[in-house]
Structure 1
Amino acid sequence: MGRVSLTRLLGWLSIAVVATITFFVSACSSADAVDDAGRLRIVATTSIVGDVAAQIGGDSVYLSIFLPIGIDPHTFDPTPQDVATLSAAEIVFINGVELEAFIEPLLDNIEATVVIVAVSEGLELIEFGDHSGNDADPHVWLDPNNVIYWTEIIERVLSQHNPTNAEQYATNAAAYRAELDSLDDWIETELEPLEPHQRKLVTDHASLAYFAHRYNFEIVGSIVPGYSSIAEPSAQDLAELQDAILELNAKAIFVGSTVNHTLAARLAEDTGIQLVALYTGSLSKPDGPAGTYLDYMQYNVEAIKAALQ
C-alpha cells in the first residue's frame, strides 16, 4: 500500500469519529431513511449511477449524489460532513469493482444501518493485463448493456424496500431499458463508417476497455498503465506508448474530463496527434452536453467518431 499523507490520515481519523457518532444517531431512528413525503432516501456514489437510479426511482425517491460533478473518483477526499449524507440514506448505490475505494472507511462504518448495493456485482469484468482478482476495470458503464444490468439490480432493490411503488419501478425500468437498447443500436450504426484501421484508441488511463470490447475497437495503450488515474507512468511506459502511436498511426489521445491532461498534452504534441476530451467518470452539469447518461454516451461516441474519421 502506498504512503498516506498526514493531512489525509488526520482527515480519515476525524471522519471515523463523526461516523461513529452518526452511527448511534441513525440507529435510534430508522424513520430518517424516509423523507417527509414518504420517499426513500437513496445515495448514489457517482453522477452516472445516480442518473440511472433516478430514471427508475422517479418521484418516489429522494436522491443524493455523493461525488460532486466533474470530480475524479480516484482522487476525491471525503469530508466529515459527507458522513451525514451516507448515514441518512436507506440505500447507497455504488458502482463497485473498487471504484469507491476512496470512501471504504465510511462504508465500513455505516454498513450496519444502511443497505449498500454494488450495481456492477455479477457482471463479467475485464481485467488488467495478466492480473486477476481485484485488478479489474471498474468503468463498466461504457457499455450500455452493463447499464441495462444495473437497472435490473436497482429495480429489484427499490421494490424490496418500497413494495408499494414496485409496479412504478418496473414500468420506469422497462422504459429506460428500451432507451438503453436504442442507444446501443444507435452507437453501432453511428460507428459503422469507421474502418478497422481507424478503430484505435489511446487514452489517458485505462477507461475505455468495455467500450472497445463492445464496439470492436483496439486499445493501443494508455498513458497511465492502469485503471486508476492517480497511477504514474514510467519513462519507459511513455516511450513504448509513443512508439505504438506512431507505428499504428493512432489519430488521437482521449482524455477524461476529470483528470489532469498535462502528460497527455505533451504526448500529443510529441506525436503530432490531437487531444480529445471525453466524459468518463462523471456526467456534466445538467445543462451541459452530458447531463444524463444517454447524453454522455452520445457525446462521447460523436467525439470519438469525429476524431478517428
Structure 2
Amino acid sequence: MNHRRLLLSAALPTLLALGIAAPASAETLNVVASFTVLADVVAHVGGDHVKVSSLVGPNGDPHEFEPSPADAKKLKAAKVTFVSGEGLEGWMDRLISASGYKGAPVVVSDGINTRSMVEDGKTVTDPHVWNSPVNVKVWVANIEKALTAADPADAADFKANAEAYTKTLTDLDAYAHGKFDKVSEDRRKILTSHDAFGYFGREYNVTFLSPLGFSTESEASAANVAKLIEQIKTEHVKAYFFENSNDPRLVKQVAKATGAEPGGELYVESLSKANGPAPTYEKMFRYNVDLLAAAMAKSS
C-alpha cells in the first residue's frame, strides 16, 4: 500500500464522522500483456497500481500461441493491453475480434531502431527487440506514457518507477559489455535454434547462426541447413544452445554435424516459472549473458 492510501485510511473515520465523503482512491488498473517478458516490465513500471496478466505463459512460444476462451475473457476485462509488436503477436487481431475488446493495444516497440531480413522473398522485421536492454528503455517510456494516460492520478509513481527501472536496464547493458568486450571477436559466435538474438548480437558484437528465421513457425529447407552446417564449420563455431520455448531437435541435428558442444538452455522469448533461473527480465538477461560468456570462455 502506498503512502497516499495509508493517509486516506487513517483519515477515513474522521471524515465520515464530519459527514464528509472520502475522495475516491485511484483504482488498480487491470492490465494484460501479450507475453511474460513484457508483462514483467509492465509490472515494474506500474508497481502496485497495476494488476498484470500475461496471455502467453512461462516457457511459452509467443509465435505459435493459440489463445483460449479464458484468454478472450481476460482481454475483454483489461483496462490497458500491451503488445511488443513488429509481427510477434500474429494471433492478437483474431483474439481481439473474438473477445469483443474495445481498446487498441499499446505497441511498446514503437520508436525502436529495428532490424530486418529477407525470408522467402519478403522483407521481415525482427520482433525480438527485448534481447537488448537498450531497446527495453523504449518499452519503458511507452509503458509509462500509456499507464499515465489511463491513470493520471498516479503519474508521479509511474515516472519514478520508470526512472528506477531504466537505471536497472543501464546496469544490465554495462554488465553485458563487461562480459563480452574482452572476448576476441572470432570467439563471439554461437549456434541457436532460431534467429532471436539479432538485437543482442548487434549491441554486443556477437554473431548468432541459426537454422530458422525470426519465427519458429518458419521451416528450414535441407539446402539452407546444409549451407548453415558448412558456414559453422568454416567459422569454427564451438557452442550451440537451445531455447526454453522451442523444439531443440533441429539445432541438435546441426550441432551433431558440426561438432559444436552444448552450452545449455537460453531464455529468449519467455520467462521461466517462478522457481526457474529466469523468472524476471533482469534475471533472464543476466542468465543468458552468463551462459553465453561461459561458452565463449570455454572455446578460447
Would you say same fold, with TM above 0.5?
yes
Q: Distance in 2 between matches of 1:247 and 1:201?
A: 13
* Deviation for aligned residue 1:305: 0.8
Does 2:128 align with 1:143? no
Q: Which moved more, 1:294-303 or 1:112-121?
A: 112-121
* Deviation for aligned residue 1:202: 2.1
Residues 208-231 of structure 1: per-residue CA shift (max 9 Å, x gap): 100000001223x3111x111121
Q: Which residue of 1 aligns with 2:296?
A: 308
Verify the 8 A CA contact 2:35 2:56 in the aligned structure 1: yes
Change (3 A) 1:103 1:130: closer
Q: Which residue of 1 aligns with 2:267?
A: 279
Show the 5 A alignment for 1:173-192: 173-192=162-181
Q: Distance in 2 between matches of 1:142 and 1:106?
A: 26
Q: Which residue of 2 aligns with 1:245?
A: 232
Verify the 8 A CA contact 1:151 1:173 in the aligned structure 2: yes
Q: Distance in 1 between matches of 2:156 and 2:49?
A: 12
Change (3 A) 1:119 1:183: same
- SS of the residue corresponding to residue 90 of structure 2 reads helix
Q: Distance in 1 between matches of 2:48 and 2:118?
A: 43
Q: Which residue of 1 aligns with 2:218?
A: 231
- SS of the residue corresponding to residue 160 of structure 1 reads helix
Q: Which residue of 1 aligns with 2:182?
A: 193
- SS of the residue corresponding to residue 275 of structure 1 reads strand
Q: Give percent identity, aligned residues only.
A: 34
Q: Which residue of 2 aligns with 1:14?
A: none
Q: Distance in 2 between matches of 1:150 and 1:227?
A: 20
**CA RMSD after TM alignment:** 1.9
Show the 5 A alignment for 1:149-188: 149-188=138-177
Verify the 8 A CA contact 1:97 1:134 in the aligned structure 2: no
Verify the 8 A CA contact 2:245 2:269 in the aligned structure 1: yes
Paired residues in the alignment total 272
Q: Distance in 1 between matches of 2:122 and 2:230?
A: 30
Verify the 8 A CA contact 2:76 2:100 in the aligned structure 1: no
Change (3 A) 1:140 1:241: same
Change (3 A) 1:88 1:131: same
Q: Which residue of 1 aligns with 2:115?
A: 126
Counterpart code for 1:48:
V
Verify the 8 A CA contact 2:26 2:153 in the aligned structure 1: no
Does 2:162 align with 1:204? no
Q: Distance in 2 between matches of 1:106 and 1:130?
A: 26
- SS of the residue corresponding to residue 193 of structure 2 reads strand
Given the two structures, how large is their TM-score scaled by the length of structure 1? 0.84
Counterpart code for 2:114:
L
Q: Distance in 2 between matches of 1:92 and 1:285?
A: 22
Does 2:106 align with 1:117? yes
Counterpart code for 1:57:
G
Does 2:209 align with 1:216? no
Q: Distance in 1 between matches of 2:131 and 2:157?
A: 27
Structure 1 ranges of 4+ moved more than 4 A: 108-112, 130-134
Does 2:65 align with 1:73? no
* Deviation for aligned residue 1:77: 1.0
- SS of the residue corresponding to residue 163 of structure 2 reads helix
Verify the 8 A CA contact 1:73 1:102 in the aligned structure 2: no
In structure 2, runs of 5+ residues without a counterpart are: 1-24
Residues 95-119 of structure 1: per-residue CA shift (max 9 Å, x gap): 1011110232112456762241010
Q: Distance in 1 between matches of 2:122 and 2:83?
A: 19
Counterpart code for 1:258:
S
Q: Which residue of 2 aligns with 1:256?
A: 243
In structure 1, runs of 5+ residues without a counterpart are: 1-35
